[in-house]
Amino acid sequence: MKTSDLIDSLARSVTPVKRLRPPFVRAAVWLLLAGAVLALLALAHGLRPDLSARLRQDQFVTGIAATLATAVLAALASFRLSLPESSRWWCLLPLPAVSVWISTIGYACLTDWVAMGPDGVRMGEAAQCFATLLLTSVPLSIAMLIMLRHAAALRPALVSATGGVAVAAITSFVLALIHQFDATIMILIWNLGTAATIAALATLLGPTMFSWIASRVPPLPPVS
């Protein structure tokens, strides 16, 4: 096909489209959705019984604050990166929060390991943790894939990676508020392990999923 023919056919097929809102607005919408998921899970399962006591511990508060900051910054970075003209350096935005988050987990492991040891891995709690993990990460990943599908043709890997970090951090935040971790090994598995798995899966599968979603979900028509 000649380029002039392509231009003709594109011009003939053009339909009105709804413009994307600014990236911080879209990131806020996604974070509100995450808040709704957390609220539903808290209603269904209840928050962890020792939450008020834990919230008085500086280490716990720093940890969850860093997790939440990672989620917010990574979401903002991925919505920003999905726009063609944005600089790729936006991917570094969540880095400070990520480093605080990982260092609090590391510090917790280092101080608690001797005190508690690796005992106390309870399978019942682990199964519930897994259910929370899926109920949080799957809908939020799908929402992010749909909201960022326009990145499929531009920089899918970078957008998937930052989006994966956002989902991983939110999941970790929800797990920390809902489930009680008694042993260091649980903290390691559920915080760092799941976060790394989600981020790795997003990076590996994200580009393919973006192309798949982008080919099936067209841009929205404007609201009249």
Chain positions contacting other proteins, by CB under 8 A: 1, 3, 6-8, 10-12, 14-20, 22, 82-85, 150, 153-155, 214, 219-220, 222
Q: Output 22 or 118, the one with its CB closest to other proteins.
A: 22
Q: Output 172 or 203, the one with its CB closest to other proteins.
A: 203
The three state secondary structure string of the chain is CCHHHHHHHHHHHCCCCCCCCCHHHHHHHHHHHHHHHHHHHHHHHCCCCCHHHHCCCHHHHHHHHHHHHHHHHHHHHHHHHCCCCCCHHHHHCCHHHHHHHHHHHHHHHHHHHHHHCCCCCCHHHHHHHHHHHHHHHHHHHHHHHHHCHHHHHCCHHHHHHHHHHHHHHHHHHHHHHHCCCCCHHHHHHHHHHHHHHHHHHHHHHHHHHHHHHHHHCCCCCCCC
Q: Output 96 or 218, the one with its CB closest to other proteins.
A: 218
Q: Output 82 or 171, the one with its CB closest to other proteins.
A: 82
Q: Output 1 or 114, the one with its CB closest to other proteins.
A: 1
Least gap, CB of 38 to other proteins (angstroms):
29
Least gap, CB of 94 to other proteins (angstroms):
22
Least gap, CB of 89 to other proteins (angstroms):
14
Least gap, CB of 142 to other proteins (angstroms):
20
Least gap, CB of 148 to other proteins (angstroms):
10
